Amino acid sequence: MSERNLLQFMDIKPEVQEAVSAGKPVVALESTILSHGMPYPENLGFAHDVEAIVRAQGAVPATMAIVDGRLKVGLNEAEVMRMCEAKDVRKVSRRDLPIVVARKLTGATTVATTMILANMAGIRIFATGGIGGVHRGGQDSMDISADLQELAHTPVAVVCAGAKMILDIGRTLEYLETMGVPVLGLNTDDFPAFYCRKSGYGVDCNAKTPAEVAAIAHAKWSLGLGGGMLIGNPVPQEYAMDFGKMSAVIDRALAQADEAGVKGKDITPFLLAHIVELTGGDSLKTNIQLAFNNARAAAQIAVELAKL
Ligand code: PSU
Ligand code: MN
């Protein structure tokens, strides 16, 4: 598809377009974390604060969504509100995108779809909370998030706090290795487990600073290797949760999902909501703080990448 055809479907916020054109740092943000990952109104406060954190580092935030079939790169107030109220807001991954566009529906972008929109708009760095991956039992159910294929093919570096233990983290990392996705730790040897700083699995490379992450991304894309990168940034110590306690909570949430017969794309939002409930809201505080921490790191990486 030619660029002109593509732009027919896309609205890029002027400040984002100006920054991209001038080679200034921009950070993509997703909207599934708003519509299907956090309750209202906490998600609204989060949506504003996370953009402010990106700006404080000298980068421009671009929250992605699909509104009435339009691909949005950067949201206005009303659009942020719409994502947070989440009425008739679908969860849109790669396969859903053409349907939502053609039918002029409204949807929140997953990690996969945020990467697609970022790449279309020329944005290389993206901050999220946690990525999707190989679900537990995925070797039988084949429930493997489209996020992993997107990381394989789309040239965007994703800063996350690892993956939740609702997933099979070992198989998720094996899949990423097979698909040639570099998995970096930001000043850590351990791949983080979202609420907890360590998953028990290592990273390919401990990149000590945002500048080193930017240098690795620059080398990957300059070499024509294409595809994405994953950067694991552990939750700050003061917000980290106890590994044993969270393991038990997640086992309970998985059992609830099993009892309710929840499958496919509904499983991740179901588990996220039940984990918040089972921890009496503690997990939400941690979720918000780790996402802030990722936005800050992503903005610092974007600033360094803009220098190369
Ligand atoms: N994991 C989280 N929080 C989230 C998600 C995953 O800890 O909000 C969201 C992200 O948008 C991710 C999506 O891209 O869920 C993955 O869903 P699925 O497994 O259906 O691909
Ligand atoms: Mn799935």
Write the DSSP assignment of 176-222 as a string of letters. Answer: HHHTT--EEEES-SB--BTTBS--S-B-SEEE-SHHHHHHHHHHHHH
**Is residue 6's pLDDT more than 90?**
no
Looking at all shown ligands, the one closest to residue 269's CA atom is 1
Q: Tell me the pairing of strands 107-109 and 157-160.
A: unpaired
Distance 161 CA to ligand 1 centre (A): 12
**In a mutational test of the pocket of ligand 1, which residue from 268, 274, 276 has the highest number of ligand atoms less than 8 Å from its CB?**
268
Read off the pLDDT band of 7 (50, 70, 90). Answer: confident
Q: What average pLDDT does this structure show over 259-285?
A: 92
Name all residues whose Cβ lies below 6 A of ligand 1.
Answer: 30, 32-33, 37, 93, 110-111, 129-130, 132, 145-147, 164, 194, 265, 268, 272
DSSP assignments along 278-301, one per residue: HTTTHHHHHHHHHHHHHHHHHHHH
Q: What average pLDDT does this structure show over 50-78?
A: 98
Q: What average pLDDT does this structure show over 201-218?
A: 98
Contact 25, 301 (CB under 8 A): no
Q: What average pLDDT does this structure show over 274-298?
A: 95
Q: What is the token pair recorded at 195?
A: 């609420």
Q: In this predicted model, what pLDDT tens digit does every residue of 33-44 receive, in sequence order? A: 999 999 999 999
164 is catalytic: yes
The reported pLDDT for the residue numbered 5 is: 82
Distance 51 CA to ligand 2 centre (A): 28
Q: Which of 1-15, 58-72, 292-306 is predicted least confidently?
A: 1-15
Which secondary-structure segment (H or E) carries 112?
Answer: helix 111-121
Which of the residues 13, 30, 91, 150 is marked catalytic? 30
Q: In this predicted model, what pLDDT tens digit does every residue of 79-133 receive, in sequence order? A: 999 999 999 999 999 999 999 999 999 999 999 999 999 999 999 999 999 999 9
The reported pLDDT for the residue numbered 1 is: 52
Contact 112, 30 (CB under 8 A): no
Point out the ligand 1 atom lying closest to the alpha carbon of residue 133.
19
**pTM of the predicted structure, to 2 decimals:** 0.97
Distance 123 CA to ligand 2 centre (A): 25
**Is residue 205's pLDDT more than 70?**
yes
Residue 187: closest CA among 228, 227, 231? 231
Q: What is the rounded distance in angstroms from the CA atom of residue 275 to the CA atom of residue 267?
A: 12
Q: What average pLDDT does this structure show over 196-218?
A: 98
Residue showing tokens 């990690």: 111
Which of the residues 13, 72, 91, 164 is marked catalytic? 164
Q: What average pLDDT does this structure show over 151-175?
A: 97
72 is catalytic: no
Read off the pLDDT band of 4 (50, 70, 90). Answer: low
